[in-house]
Chain A
Amino acid sequence: GDSVTQMEGPVTLSEEAFLTINCTYTATGYPSLFWYVQYPGEGLQLLLKATKADDKGSNKGFEATYRKETTSFHLEKGSVQVSDSAVYFCALSPLAGKSTFGDGTTLTVKP
């Protein structure tokens, strides 16, 4: 079946540091890939998505590129802020079927 593996957390960074959160997936066919973010006490919000190989999703300074050859969708941001502290979930959605989520990575950014 489909699966998503995220790098283990938690991740702690200083403000303005570079962020990478690794995500790899296993799926049949050509799923869409997503990053969701969850702030404390809230539901998940879509951060960015990519629907086919080599697509780059971007939003609020975050980027991720759909790499079919390495089955990866790593999340990056050049300069993190304290307000980016949250839990980040990588997910995939096949053409027909339910979404599969990674275990989540907790990011803490210190001033």
Chain B
Amino acid sequence: DTEVTQTPKHLVMGMTNKKSLKCEQHMGHRAMYWYKQKAKKPPELMFVYSYEKLSINESVPSRFSPECPNSSLLNLHLHALQPEDSALYLCASSPAVLGSEKLFFGSGTQLSVL
């Protein structure tokens, strides 16, 4: 299994809602990532987990809250988002954080904040 699976594929939420994005991989990778991608732009790194511990937070607003319950799962909890947070949210994994590793990406969750 060489896939990173993200759910849901699409999400529409109001500014007062709480929702969660989910990501799963079964490749035994120990590094997992959240990226945000606006249309026609490159992915922007948000968070990195290494061995289930948060190792990088790119100064992301607290309305985004990541969680890594185990080595295969990664969640992104969303609360009180703004319309400008509408974007494609991509999860990725790699064998490790250190080392020049390629990234395996999921298909993403297209988020619309109304």
How many pairs of A and B residues are in contact by the CB < 8 Å rule? 55
Cβ-defined contact, B42 with A98, below 8 A: no
> Which of A31, A44, A93, A94 is close to B43, meaning CB atoms less than 8 Å apart?
A44
Nearest-neighbour CB distance to chain A for B92, whole angstroms, equals 8
**Chain A CB within 8 A of B60 CB:** no
Given A43-B108, A106-B40, residue A31 in contact with residue B100 (CB < 8 A):
yes
Q: CB-CB < 8 A to B97: which residues of A? A: 96
As a 0/1 sequence over residues 1 to 36 of chain B, the CB contacts with chain A under 8 angstroms (1 = contact) are 000101000000000000000000000000000000
What's the tally of chain B residues with a CB closer than 8 Å to chain A?
Answer: 23
Q: Tell me which of A14-22, A45-53, A69-77, A78-86 binds B.
A: A45-53
Chain B contact residues, majority secondary structure: loop
Q: CB-CB < 8 A to A44: which residues of B? A: 43, 90, 92, 103, 105
The A54-111 residues at the B interface (CB cut-off 8 A) are 87, 89, 93-96, 98-99, 101-104, 106
Cβ-defined contact, A89 with B100, below 8 A: no
Nearest-neighbour CB distance to chain A for B88, whole angstroms, equals 8
> Which of B6, B100, B106 is close to A51, meaning CB atoms less than 8 Å apart?
B100
Cβ-defined contact, B90 with A46, below 8 A: no
Q: CB-CB < 8 A to B48: which residues of A? A: 98
Nearest-neighbour CB distance to chain B for A11, whole angstroms, equals 14
**Chain B CB within 8 A of A25 CB:** no
Cβ-defined contact, A94 with B42, below 8 A: no
> Which of A31, A42, A46, A89 is close to B102, meaning CB atoms less than 8 Å apart?
A46
> Which of B40, B41, B45, B102 is close to A34, meaning CB atoms less than 8 Å apart?
B102
Cβ-defined contact, B100 with A94, below 8 A: yes
Q: B residues bordering A, Cβ < 8 Å?
A: 4, 6, 40-43, 45, 48, 56, 90, 92, 97-108
Q: Would you list the 3 A-B pairs with minimal beta carbon distance, nearest first? A: A32-B100, A43-B105, A101-B42
